[in-house]
Amino acid sequence: MSFRLELRKVSYRHGENTILDSVDLTVPEGGVAIVGGRSGCGKSTLLELCAGLTRPQSGAVLWDGDDITVMSRYELYGRRRSIGYVFQGYALISNHSAFDNIALPLKCGGDDLGSETIEKRVRALMGELDIGRGIEKRFPEALSVAQLKCVAVARALVNEPAFLILDEPFSGIDPVTAKMIAGVLRKRWMGGGMGILMATHALGVWPELAAQRFMLGGGRLEPAATAFARVRDLKHDRRYDHDDAR
């Protein structure tokens, strides 16, 4: 199982607003990239471009060296089965139970899996993410935010993807649930070499030093260390400018 993601000079605009301006990003096989930034800075758009859900105005998005921006919808659909996606707004199907939402990728994946195999995989993930049998028949409207998040993560993982994209997986949930989800993700990453791209305000959620950490702002994606150093320098200059004015 392998998957390499690469963005080359990707730009995206919404009207007069530049969301991404010639952005480069590489997530190698089994790599982890974490993207932070203010709300509304374009993190979700970046993830949608990486997943082929949105096409850039310019630049290339490569999956294992193949540019998906020139693929047909049919080609893209077949290749997207390698990716799991957790939407910020969950994107669960309202008239499907929690169990059926998790099982959906297995039922629609075209592998003709038997019901026993599907149930075994779904229940295994429900156990990992503490999704009790008491809620498996509930519809999304009856679930808490933490439960919705766990079901969304389980659905993204059930197909055993080579690459996982997560949009704010820890927002709005309690620290215990956030720690549990992070633990499940790390276990999958360490055990199978699954690559991960995550947008989150909690850049330190992934303890491994090997993880790439970026900040997105003003259409630019840059290493978090560079962005933080520039902010420190700016605060330092402003402080001394203020002292000089006095």
pLDDT digits (tens, 9 = 90+) for 213-244: 999 999 999 988 887 787 665 554 555 555 55
For position 168, what pLDDT does the model report? 94
58-67, 201-210, 229-238, range with greatest mean pLDDT: 58-67
Q: Which of 98-112, 122-136, 143-157 has the lowest mean pLDDT?
A: 98-112
Number of domains forming the structure of the chain: 1
For position 194, what pLDDT does the model report? 92
Q: What does pTM read for this prediction?
A: 0.89
Distance CA 119, CA 113 (A): 10
Residue 60 belongs to domain spanning: 5-245
Q: What is the CATH number of the domain that holds 158?
A: 3.40.50.300
For position 236, what pLDDT does the model report? 45
Q: Which of 89-98, 161-170, 182-191, 227-236 has the lowest mean pLDDT?
A: 227-236
What is the arithmetic mean of pLDDT over 45-64? 96
Contact 170, 203 (CB under 8 A): no
For position 211, what pLDDT does the model report? 87
Which one is predicted more confidently, 83 or 235? 83
What is the arithmetic mean of pLDDT over 173-187? 92
Token readout for 161 is 């993807």
Q: What separation in angstroms does the CA of 200 have from each of 94, 151, 169, 197?
A: 25, 18, 7, 10
What is the arithmetic mean of pLDDT over 114-138? 92
